[in-house]
Amino acid sequence: MKQNLKIGWLYPDLMSTYGDRGNIIVLKKRCEWRGIKTEILNLNEGFDEKLLNNFDILFMGGAQDAQQQIVTKDFTSAKISALKKKVEDGTPGLYVCGAYQFLGKYYKEPNGNKIKGLGILDLYTEYPGERAVRLIGNIALKTPDGNILVGFENHGGRTFIGKKLQPFGQVMKGFGNNGNQPAMQDGKTLQAGDKTEGVIYKNSIGTYLHGPILPKNPEIADWLIEKALERKYEKKIKLEKLDNSLSQKAKMAILSRITS
Amino acid sequence: MLDILFIVLGKIVITVSKLFNLGSGSTWPGHIALSYNKNFIRNLLSKNKNLKIILIAGTNGKTTTGKLIRTILEKNNRKVLQNEEGANLLNGIASSFIKYADISGKIRCNYAIFEIDENTFPLILENINPEIIILLNLFRDQLDRYGEVNIVSNKWQSALKKIKPNVSLILNSDDPKIAYLGNKIKNKVEYFGVKGTEQSIDHASDSTYCPKCGNKLSYKSITFSHLGDWTCTSCGLEKPKPDIESFDGYPLPGLYNRYNTHAAILTAKTLGVPTDKIAKALKDFKPAFGRQEIIKYKGKKIQIFLSKNPASFNQSLATINDLKAKNLLVILNDRIPDGRDVSWIWDIDFENNLKNFKSITVSGDRVYDMALRLKYAGKNSLMSNEILSDAIQDSIDHIPENETLYILPTYSAMLDLRKILTGKAIL
């Protein structure tokens, strides 16, 4: 029987800047090249939260402020519980930039105004005052399993993840979660300039990496696909190898530039 | 008095830069003058009260629209000055004044046409009182530099609150955020649009939400990206009725150039040029640097379509497909004028636009990112070469005498490309 995966793209109209669509293209193609069928469903404003249960992979991208507000309004408490359940039950998910911040407890705007997040993960984000610079540039990081990833970050908010959470990676070059910004002195968070990037919880990844992340880091795309198949078919999966030479070249070009 | 010194000094800088092929010295002179006297532009303009200024802002189409207006005015015996390619910040504007002023500070032109950087637009309005402001469109572009589209349109809205009552606005009716800028303003506003046919919204789409109430907009028709016949079913805001939406005899192909042409025609009409004379002048139009510009190189015909963001890239692809293009060279750079983040290439609709090409070559600082993008769009047989001159050679070697090589470069890539093709620097 042919394997198939259902991919849910949360708010493609509202939460899609910076070529986020590339992540969906990569997931789809890498499945297709291996004979795995994919079905991609766009989950737009007003979608029924019961749909969430059907998906094997979830993706959500970054948003502009006005759009983010519409999404915030759309997340009823029932919808929040449904998404939390997906994260907790190990459904692979990729949450980039605005979506990553949104999974946390709150986002504090430059003017001090606090916007409530979904509260699914123990992290928070603060934009430290009107005059703080945005953290912009190419970034390289190393994941706990030794992968080196590259991307482009562009965020004003500094994110601090809870002590029990595992960062997605350690920053080799770039800013990552919080650059050099001092943390809130509440004793519950990792220290300032902790050089962490993103978060990984069960099979969900939160990250600031645009680029988009998946084309130049196919190991992450494959990890998501593998976890999704294992969860769905309840067996160990070893994905067929694909030719990654071009993505490797593109990655090396950036790495050699930013680490030289 | 000091101002005169800067005019003389600036003119020397311009001459020297040209002499040594260092580019045309289009920003230094103004930069120096402004750093010593921040009122330099205001002072100069107070001596030239008859000079009428036309400002053009928008993500795409500024240079072409400026050139269209310039052509119409010059063919009708008006003297026009224009800022140099890319010199679209305050220092570039000041430099243009230095170039055209005599040493008494007199500028012997009737009109000045300035294309303005999106972020600088509010600052320019503090220094200059224009006759006409043309706002073309707002597309997603260089998010690392400009920020998000909403931020830019909000800045523009507050800047427009301070303009004098005699300033005329010429706005795109089909771009919701631009059209809305004319909504509450007391100035004279005229709108240009384009009759649309297509129904689907591009992936690069940005402002499909109501600029007034934030609800999702409905479209009766779409020309491209988020431009079209829009209406908000929630608050009732709708596309203003355009004063022009078609023209007989477009000087350039491409839907996007219809918008540019309509904006130029409305401007010329506002300045009193009769309709028949506008049409006649446009017959002799020659495109601006890199905007559908045709160059002969080593016996082969090359046409350059500057493609700097998803919307302009999609339009270039659509236009060259209409022109039955067979050979393509794409050049992707990530320098400051291009935007350092190349994520935007994933918003280009390559998937539906590549099937007619016989040969595709990629080059530029981010050649492998572009090759990877095309691989995921289903193109495996590519030539890629990091070195631009080699990539051009590879491409033209592969095409027969009677075929054209179409080149789609980002901004800095276009400058490099022209330097190779013509042996001269523009900037």
CB contact under 8 A, B372 and A70: no
**Is the pLDDT score of A18 beyond 90?**
no
pLDDT average, residue stretch A143-165: 94
Neighbours of B368 (CB within 10 A): 25
CATH topology of domain B2-282: UDP-N-acetylmuramoyl-L-alanine:D-glutamate ligase (3.40.1190)
Q: Is B317 on the interface with A (CB under 8 A)?
A: no
Q: Which residue of A has its CA nearest to B377?
A: A25
Long-range contacts of B266-271 (CB under 8 A, 24+ apart): B266/B170, B266/B190, B266/B192, B267/B54, B267/B69, B267/B132, B267/B134, B267/B170, B268/B69, B268/B72, B268/B73, B270/B132, B270/B168, B270/B170, B270/B190, B271/B52, B271/B73, B271/B111, B271/B131, B271/B132
Active site residue B276: no
The CA distance from A186 to the nearest CA of chain B, in Å, is 32
CB contact under 8 A, B150 and A152: no
CB contact under 8 A, A22 and B376: yes
Contact A124, A104 (CB under 8 A): yes
- Which candidate in A26, A40, A134, A152 is best for mutational testing of the B interface (most B CBs within 10 A)? A152
The whole-model pTM stands at: 0.88
Per the model's pLDDT, the better-predicted residue between A213 and A127 turns out to be A213
* pLDDT (tens digit per residue) in B112-142: 999 998 888 999 999 899 999 999 999 877 6
> Which of A17, A45, A246 is nearest residue B140 as measured by Cβ atoms?
A17
Q: How many CB pairs under 8 A join A and B?
A: 85
Q: Which residue of A has its CA nearest to B369?
A: A250
Which tokens sit at A156? 């004003």
Q: Is B143 on the interface with A (CB under 8 A)?
A: yes
Q: Which of B413, B338, B415, B331 is nearest to B369 (CA)?
A: B331
CB contact under 8 A, A13 and B208: yes
Going edge to edge, which strands form the sheet with A158-161? A114-116, A106-108, A123-126, A158-161
Q: What is the pLDDT of residue B34?
A: 84
Which tokens sit at B185? 């303003």
Q: Which of B81, B92, B102 is nearest to B33 (CA)?
A: B92
The CA distance from A188 to the nearest CA of chain B, in Å, is 32
Query: Which residue ranges make up each domain of chain B?
Result: 2-282, 291-422
CA distance B82 to B62: 12
B343 to chain A: which residues are within 8 Å by CB? 18-20, 22, 152, 210-212
> Which of A22, A70, A250 is nearest residue B346 as measured by Cβ atoms?
A22
- SS3 for B370-415, per residue? HHHHHHHCCCCCCEECCCHHHHHHHHHHCCCCCCEEEEEECHHHHH
User: What is the maximum span of chain B, computed from C-alpha positions, in angstroms?
Assistant: 64
User: How far is C-alpha B297 from the geometric centre of its chain's CA atoms?
Assistant: 25
* pLDDT (tens digit per residue) in A181-225: 544 444 444 445 789 999 999 999 999 999 999 999 999 999 999
Q: Which of A260, A52, A66, A77 is nearest to A172 (CA)?
A: A260
Distances (CA, A) of B360 to B132, B328, B405, B418: 42, 5, 10, 19
CA distance A118 to B15: 61
B344 to chain A: which residues are within 8 Å by CB? 18-19
pLDDT average, residue stretch A76-101: 96
Q: What is the pLDDT of residue B427?
A: 53
Q: What is the pLDDT of residue B24?
A: 56
Distances (CA, A) of B104 to A127, B25, B45, B90, B338: 50, 21, 12, 21, 38
CB contact under 8 A, A18 and B143: yes
Catalytic residue among B322, B341, B390, B397: B341
- The 8-class DSSP code of residue B209 comes to B
Cis peptide before B409 (omega within 30 of 0): no
Q: What is the pLDDT of residue B265?
A: 98
B371 to chain A: which residues are within 8 Å by CB? 246, 249-250
Q: What is the pLDDT of residue B155?
A: 92
The CA distance from A73 to the nearest CA of chain B, in Å, is 12
pLDDT band at A16 (very low <50, low <70, confident <90, very high): confident
Q: What is the pLDDT of residue B202?
A: 53
**Which numeric CATH code is attached to A4-259?**
3.40.50.880
**Which numeric CATH code is attached to B291-422?**
3.90.190.20
Q: Which of B90, B106, B118, B117 is nearest to B29 (CA)?
A: B90
Q: Is B125 helix (H, G, I), strand (E, B) or coil?
A: helix
Per the model's pLDDT, the better-predicted residue between A129 and A102 turns out to be A102
Q: Is B366 on the interface with A (CB under 8 A)?
A: yes
CB contact under 8 A, B345 and A19: yes
Contact A247, A240 (CB under 8 A): no
Residues of chain B with pLDDT under 50: 203-204
Active site residue A31: no
Query: Which residue ranges make up each domain of chain A?
Result: 4-259
Q: How many CA atoms lie within 13 A of A137 on its CB side?
A: 17
The CA distance from A136 to the nearest CA of chain B, in Å, is 7
Catalytic residue among A27, A60, A94, A97: A97
Type of residue at B33: A
Distances (CA, A) of A180 to A108, A110, A149, A194: 17, 17, 21, 8
Q: What ipTM was reported for this prediction?
A: 0.93
Q: Is B59 helix (H, G, I), strand (E, B) or coil?
A: coil
